[in-house]
Amino acid sequence: MASQHQDPGTGAYLIRGAAILGGAPEDLLIRDGIIEARGLNLAAGGATVIEAAGLVALPGMVDIHTHLREPGREDAETVETGTRAAALGGYTAVHAMANSTPVADTAGVVEQVLTLGRTAGWVDVRPVGAVTVGLAGEQLAELGAMADSRARVRVFSDDGICVHDPVLMRRALEYVKAFDGVVAQHAQEPRLTAGAQMNEGEVSAVLGLAGWPAVAEESIIARDVLLAQHVGSRLHVCHVSTAGSVEIIRWAKSRGVNVTAEVTPHHLWLTDELARSYDPVYKVNPPLRTDADVQALRAALADGTIDVVGTDHAPHPSEHKECEWAQAAMGMTGLETALSVVQHTMIETGLMGWADFARVTSTAPAAIGRVADQGRPLDAGEPANVILVDPAARWTVDPSKMATMGRNSPFAGRELPGKVVATFFKGHPTVLDGRLNTPYRWLPETAEMPGTPTAATAGRN
Amino acid sequence: MRHLLSTEDLSLSDAIRILDTAEEMAAVGEREVKKLPTLRGRTVVNLFFEDSTRTRISFEAAAKRLSADVINFAAKGSSVSKGESLKDTAQTLSAMGADAVVIRHWASGAPHRLAATDWIDAAVINAGDGTHEHPTQALLDAFTMRRHWSKLAGIPSAGAGLLGMRVAIAGDVLHSRVARSNVWLLRTLGAEVTLVAPPTLLPIGVDKWPCRVSYDLDETLARGVDAMMMLRVQGERMNASFFPTTREYSRRWGFDDTRLRTLDTLGLKDTIIMHPGPMNRGLEISAAAADSPRSTVLAQVRNGVSIRMAVLYLLLSGDSRGPAGTSKASPTTVTKESH
Amino acid sequence: MTSAPEAPVPATVLLTRVVLNQADIDRALTRIAHEILESNKGSQDLVLLGIPRRGYPLAVRLAEKIAAADPTVDPAAIVGQLDVTMFRDDLSHQAMRPPYPTQLPRTGIDNKVVVLIDDVLYSGRTIRAALDAIIDLGRPRIVRLAVLIDRGHRELPIRADHVGKNLPTSSAEKVRVRLAETDTVDGVPVNEVVIEASA
């Protein structure tokens, strides 16, 4: 389809007739990493032409919540395989969670992850720093050093574990203000969830699996929004899963608390009824909840109470899922199914349009993570992080055919709508024809720093 | 029926078939020759990831009375305790040619995993999984109740259910697989079940179960009870604040001597007292109650062998699996897939 | 778990031939009753064990005929039922069902002359199972076999001592014995033996 350039400076592509954010068909001319022009009947001028009639053009998706597993669990995923999955799923940036081995709690580890991401070249890998040393919840990690490192960390999270000590949480919220950081909280009261296996309710009662009450999530969120208000800090709530959490966040926003919230694709669709199979592919943290929760989460994402979709992509080796439920690891893969699941649950239900999709999967998460060159409008002069989506495509999920090493997709066997046809990362096609193309090659060190604008953000031409 | 995983999805006709078959198995137990050649050449594996001598020997006796070969595989002290997975263990047993696997596991749902995966092609019998279910215990309880209830009504027990029988189950419902299996089975058989427990030992969601729930044992007895089943309560629950002290627990929820006398006062002369064992005498049941003529504890143990014979017979006889590699079962014998 | 309904009449059956009617059955049983008394030289120590399902009602009818011939006999005291399900060698081909109760006369079977009663003798495997079942229950002095129909096609060295009717059949045919005690279905005549052949 296109001649492949390893040099990012020379690629030129004319996307012809794509519905930009689902609107009327227009052309986009991409050259040297920038959207050079947007309009009707643009001249190719030597650029490779991509016929995009019937396709939707969207800003590259930004995942605020990804587990890439490297360093330490390369049997589960590597930065290379995880970011291939991300590119195929329509992402141009992912935030790599800190619960690696060693934990990303020092400048050294976050810089290592940054370097791995650039070497891979499929997406912008933004390391998340741990809030506490070793995720132990006892002592603050060197947040400033991580913020000042080459990785320029802005999102801090002990994800997987809740920062449950209220004093520690208060201090973290306060401290990150020094460098415009945000604490992304995994809201889970540990004492209320000791040994918990699934949502506590009708289904857990029948299955005899230890219950995970909604209140364990909601009580932490309630505490944290009050803390954030008290100290005037920015708070991000990871993977909101209950209707009660939505109500608390809605209330907090109405009081002016600087809080953002995230929902995973799986919590927008799946319920705890699936646990009746005892198949651990449905075991996840936070657990799948009830249909009432699912409906509340959809409504909250549509009305802006929940700001972003985050995948919580959590690949696991098969032996961690081919076992008893209680023995199994928690987590699901998500990068390669997120777009389709959000299309199915939010767009095909009429709750959202593609412009809203761009907001919750790109603009808002880029803003939370302070990723300046992502989540931008698809206008002339903007960085060319663009994806083309075929909303009419239908495909059946087969985890064995995915780029991620994780086979733990809860959507296996389901037919989903929507397919990513192409992903442009910094003007370079990482995905073409729905298949991996070639990675972007970063220029030598210091030429580009994430977090600093790479292009003029001038208005429309 | 290819597996016996729970009583929740056991139909009335299946339940009655098992109970009726158990009646015939019980008759065999009274003969001079207590052995039947029925399962000659079949291999039954007792796969126990959790100690339970009582349940294991009951299944072992049942399999042996039907002439099956029995392999006992205790997870403790074996490769399983050294980290071998359930999958590898199952595949090993499959390679050894197990026709039925009787599995006891501390993890809820482990038998469902064996039945749902392709790790092993054998009938799976749940011998108690975590805090989920213990279907053969519920069946033997129902069998014991049915004999009593039919005798009172003056009808043969074969073919009968438990219509109108009032059954109270008291104790640690939250952690009890026996309670769960009994609630579903007794409902199917037409009994009226009341669960009695401290609120801390009832699961969230119990209000959706097909039974009454009470926090008051005396009130429940006063309403009339035909069978009083006491559940084992672990004293250690006290340390997790499920109740303040064992003393307070037995005063409020134990079947003590006073409550034993109350049965007489209330005119409940035919009420039986049941316990799945092993009993904590003095905690959930007094010695006098456990040893009274009302107690069916030993009958339950005896009936357990008959029930397990019936289950093994029904699962292994209707199965027309061909040699390895052919279809798993004939369509007439498979009506239920675990969901 | 389902059990196949008891022998439904398939809609595809084109040919049904009545080979014994009610009077024929009654005559055959009368003759067998007399043969049993004759070969036993009286009613001494006689026990009739019917094999479920249809062997049992036939055993009851035979006992009544024996009592008619010998008034010292209490028919209820010499009849029993012997279930052979658990002794079969073809369990894996059978639809699952609970076994029938085995009920022996109060006198037991030790040192008795046991006459096994069944409706149709075919492969002989049921009788083989019955012999095993008897041995686990006691030690009769003699075991004999009486059947209403012998249709041939034996697979084991077993023969009947008393036969109501020898009926040459093809193995593609089905022999159905319908008795009032066990086969009362609206619109289908009972107390007759028919051969069904599918076309």
| pLDDT tens digit sequence for C74-85 | 999 999 999 999
pLDDT beyond 70 at A446? no
Do the bridges between strand C142-150 and strand C162-166 make them parallel or antiparallel, or are there none, so unpaired? parallel
- Cβ–Cβ gap C136/B31 under 8 Å: yes
- Cβ–Cβ gap B205/A204 under 8 Å: yes
Domain count for chain B: 2
pLDDT beyond 80 at C4? no
Residue C93 near chain B (CB below 8 Å): yes
Token pair 């390895």: residue: B324
Lowest model confidence (mean pLDDT) among B102-106, C59-63, C86-90: C86-90
Give the closest-approach CA distance of A286 to chain B in angstroms.
18
What residues of A are labeled active site?
312
Closest-CA residue of A relative to B176 is A208
Distance in angstroms (rounded) separating the CA atoms of residues A88 and A340: 12
pLDDT beyond 90 at A135? yes
Mean pLDDT of A49-68: 98
Residues B105 and B36 grouped into a single domain: yes
Residues B294 and B332 grouped into a single domain: no
pLDDT beyond 60 at A230? yes
Q: Select from B6, B50, B113 the residue whose CB has the most chain A CBs within 10 Å, as the one to mutate to test that interface.
A: B113
Place A279 in a pLDDT band, splitting at 50, 70 and 90: very high
Q: What is the pLDDT of residue B74?
A: 85
CA of residue B62 relative to chain centroid, distance: 14
Mean pLDDT of B241-257: 94
- Cβ–Cβ gap C98/B320 under 8 Å: no
Residues B45 and B169 grouped into a single domain: no
Distance in angstroms (rounded) separating the CA atoms of residues A237 and A187: 7
Residue B1 within a domain: no
Place C8 in a pLDDT band, splitting at 50, 70 and 90: low
User: Tell me: the pLDDT tens digits for B161-184?
Assistant: 999 999 999 999 999 999 999 999
Q: Select from B10, B86, B88, B112 the residue whose CB has the most chain A CBs within 10 Å, as the one to mutate to test that interface.
A: B112
Distance in angstroms (rounded) separating the CA atoms of residues B160 and B174: 30
Distance in angstroms (rounded) separating the CA atoms of residues A287 and A199: 6
User: Tell me: the pLDDT tens digits for A302-332?
Assistant: 999 999 999 999 999 999 999 999 999 999 9
Tokens of A454: 């790479």
Q: What is the pLDDT of residue C188?
A: 73
Residues B292 and B319 grouped into a single domain: no
Give the closest-approach CA distance of C11 to chain B in angstroms.
19
Residue B264: partners with Cβ closer than 8 Å, 6 or more residues away: none
Place A458 in a pLDDT band, splitting at 50, 70 and 90: very low
Q: Select from B7, B108, B209, B338 the residue whose CB has the most chain A CBs within 10 Å, as the one to mutate to test that interface.
A: B108
pLDDT beyond 70 at B82? no
CATH of the domain at B257: 3.40.50.1370
Residues B263 and B151 grouped into a single domain: yes
Residues B30 and B49 grouped into a single domain: yes
Q: What is the pLDDT of residue B199?
A: 97
Residues B69 and B87 grouped into a single domain: yes
Query: What is the residue range of B40's domain?
Result: 7-131+304-338
Q: Which residues of B touch A (CB under 8 A)?
A: 8, 85-87, 105-110, 112-113, 116-117, 129-133, 177, 180, 203-206, 208-209, 338-339
Residues B65 and B174 grouped into a single domain: no
pLDDT beyond 90 at C186? no
Query: Chain C, 154-193: which have a CB under 8 Å from a chain B CB?
Result: none
Mapped to the 3 state alphabet, what secondary structure does chain A carry?
CCCCCCCHHHCEEEEEEEEECCCCEEEEEEECCEEEEEECCCCCCCCEEEECCCCEEEECEEEEEECCCCCCCCCCCCHHHHHHHHHHCCEEEEEECCCCCCCCCCHHHHHHHHHHHHHHCCCEEEECECCEHHHCCCCECCHHHHHHCCCCCCEECCCCCCCCCHHHHHHHHHHHHHHCCEEEECCCCCHHHCCCCEECCHHHHHHCCCEECHHHHHHHHHHHHHHHHHHCCCEEECCCCCHHHHHHHHHHHHCCCCEEEEECCHHHCCCHHHHHHCCHHHCCCCCCCCHHHHHHHHHHHHHCCCCEECCCECCCCHHHCCCCHHHCCCCECCCCCHHHHHHHHHHCCCCCCHHHHHHHHHHHHHHHHCCCCCCCCCCCCCECCEEEEEEEEEEECCHHHCCCCCCCCCCCCCEEEEEEEEEEECCEEEEECCEECCCCCCCCCCCCCCCCCCCCCCCCC
Place A452 in a pLDDT band, splitting at 50, 70 and 90: very low
Residue C136 near chain B (CB below 8 Å): yes
Q: A–B: how many Cβ contacts below 8 A?
A: 79
Residue A318 near chain B (CB below 8 Å): no
- Do B274 and B297 meet the contact criterion of CB atoms below 8 Å apart? yes
Residue B268 within a domain: yes
Residue A459 near chain B (CB below 8 Å): no
Q: What is the pLDDT of residue A456?
A: 39
pLDDT beyond 50 at A447? no
Residues B327 and B286 grouped into a single domain: no
Percent of the residues in chain A that have a pLDDT greater than 90, as a whole number: 93
* A405 closest CA partner among A91, A73, A89, A123: A73
Report the mean per-residue pLDDT for chain A.
94
Residue B221 within a domain: yes
Q: What is the pLDDT of residue B239?
A: 76
- Cβ–Cβ gap C100/B38 under 8 Å: no
Place A443 in a pLDDT band, splitting at 50, 70 and 90: confident
Chain A positions in Cβ-Cβ contact with residue B116 (cut-off 8 Å): 277-279
Residue B2 within a domain: no
> Is it true that the peptide bond before A453 is cis, omega within 30 degrees of 0?
no
Residues B212 and B109 grouped into a single domain: no
Of B328 and A120, the one with more pLDDT: A120
Q: What is the pLDDT of residue C14?
A: 59
Of A175 and C197, the one with more pLDDT: A175
Residues B173 and B271 grouped into a single domain: yes
Residue B316 within a domain: yes
- Cβ–Cβ gap B113/A208 under 8 Å: no
pLDDT beyond 60 at A362? yes
Report the mean per-residue pLDDT for chain B.
90
How many CB atoms lie under 10 A from the CB of residue C124? 17
Residues B62 and B148 grouped into a single domain: no
Note the ipTM here.
0.90
CA of residue C124 relative to chain centroid, distance: 12
User: Tell me: the pLDDT tens digits for C124-175?
Assistant: 999 999 999 999 999 999 999 999 999 999 999 999 999 999 999 998 899 9
pLDDT beyond 60 at B337? no
Place A460 in a pLDDT band, splitting at 50, 70 and 90: very low
Mean pLDDT of A51-75: 97
**Nearest by CB: B86 against A211, A276, A324:** A324
Backbone dihedral region for residue B89 (phi beyond 0: left; psi -120 to 50: alpha; all else: beta)? alpha
Residue B116 within a domain: yes
CA of residue A441 relative to chain centroid, distance: 22
Neighbouring chains of B at 3+ CB pairs under 8 Å are A, C
Give the closest-approach CA distance of B333 to chain C in angstroms.
6
